[in-house]
Amino acid sequence: MRAGDWLLFSIVAASLALIGIDGASGGAVQAALQTHLSSTGQSAGRWLLRAGLVLSPLLLLPLIAALWARISPLPDAIAALLDRSARAIDAISETLADAVRWLALALVLITVTVVIQRYVFGASSTKLQESVIYFHALLFLLSSASTLLHGGHVRVDIVYTRLSQAGKAWTDLAGYYLALVPMCVLILMTSRSYVGGAWRILERSRESDGLPLVFLLKTAIPVFAVMMILQGLSMAARAALTLSGREAPATGQRAEREL
């Protein structure tokens, strides 16, 4: 099993265990979540925001390393840090993508079930219908970082493909700092009140028989932005290593070709 499979299995197992404990305790788990989940989530969000602000200067490390390499050889310690950081971020992105890939199968099965229910039996389930929206959103938001690693996002390669390795590296750095980071920061800023408000009231479906997890679905938006910033940092680290004359870790596309 892949790491993502174990992650998904752990989440499902923990959820089933909580459901079992809640049933055996007469709803004690649900009552505790209703009481403490909102405040705990908001507190965790504030701490994560502070941690992000404190650690944000580290995003400049690949750019500093690339400029340093133009003046003098890059120190081994910095090169090793860039290499290990890129590999660690890649592992996180791949693990998350491996876990959510099963949502594609779930989408197909649930959609077929909804169609059969409606047009064969004349019945419908709001929870099943809304789960399609959940799975679709989570599949694309949480696998975007891995898609960036594997070069799966749309890009215009008319000029990029004709550049030298150094030219491509500088282009990657410019794209990260001038496009990817500003856009993701904008997403984080604009979604803060949107997601925070959902956690404040533990927002649920507007339908009485819908899924009560809208606040978790909205949380995928800032998670997407953070994952894209981190994966972009991994690509920037590779560019810095290339500009310093070091061997960069293989990206998804290169790794597949080498196999």
pLDDT digits (tens, 9 = 90+) for 36-89: 899 999 899 999 999 999 999 999 999 999 999 889 898 999 999 999 999 999
Q: Residue 144 has what pLDDT?
A: 94
Q: How far apart are CA 140 and CA 153, in angstroms?
A: 12
Given a cut of 50, is residue 259 above it in pLDDT? no
Given a cut of 70, is residue 253 above it in pLDDT? no
Q: Which of 11-15, 119-123, 247-251 has the highest mean pLDDT?
A: 11-15
Structure tokens given for 9 = 């299995």
pTM of the model: 0.90
Q: How far apart are CA 63 and CA 65, in angstroms?
A: 5
Given a cut of 90, is residue 219 above it in pLDDT? yes
Q: Which residue has the tokens 């909804």?
A: 114
* Structure confidence at residue 113 as a pLDDT band (50, 70, 90): very high
Q: Residue 258 has what pLDDT?
A: 41
Q: How far apart are CA 42 and CA 45, in angstroms?
A: 5
**CB-count burial class (<10 Å; 0-12, 13-18, 19+) for 59:** middle
**CB-count burial class (<10 Å; 0-12, 13-18, 19+) for 242:** buried
* Structure confidence at residue 255 as a pLDDT band (50, 70, 90): very low
Q: Is the dihedral of CA 80, 147, 189, 239 positive or negative?
A: positive
Q: Return left, alpha or beta for 110; rule: phi > 0 is left, psi -120 to 50 is alpha, else beta.
A: alpha
Q: Residue 192 has what pLDDT?
A: 92
What secondary structure letter does DSSP report for 211?
Answer: -
Average pLDDT of every residue of the chain: 89
52: containing domain: 32-247
Q: Which residue has the tokens 């929206």?
A: 133
HSE, side-chain direction, 13 A CA sphere, residue 2: 15
What secondary structure letter does DSSP report for 120?
Answer: T
Question: How many whole angstroms from its chain centre is CA 107?
Answer: 19
The angle at the Cα of 101, spanning 41 to 181, to the nearest 5 degrees, equals 60
Q: Is residue 20 part of a domain?
A: no
Q: Is residue 1 part of a domain?
A: no
Q: Which residue has the tokens 């944000």?
A: 56
Structure tokens given for 194 = 């949107």
Q: Is residue 49 part of a domain?
A: yes
Quote the number of domains for the chain: 1
Given a cut of 60, is residue 252 above it in pLDDT? no
CA nearest to 200, candidates 51, 49, 53, 43: 43
Q: Is residue 14 part of a domain?
A: no
Q: How far apart are CA 139 and CA 104, in angstroms?
A: 7
Q: Is residue 26 part of a domain?
A: no
Q: Is residue 2 part of a domain?
A: no
- Residues present in the chain in total: 259
Q: Kindly state the percentage of the chain with pLDDT values over 90.
A: 63
What angle do helix axes 76-100 and 126-149 make, rounded to 10 degrees? 150
CA nearest to 239, candidates 91, 96, 67: 67
Determine the longest span between alpha carbons in the chain, in angstroms. Answer: 73
Q: Is residue 186 part of a domain?
A: yes
The amino acid occupying position 218 is K
Q: Is residue 22 part of a domain?
A: no
Q: Residue 44 has what pLDDT?
A: 92
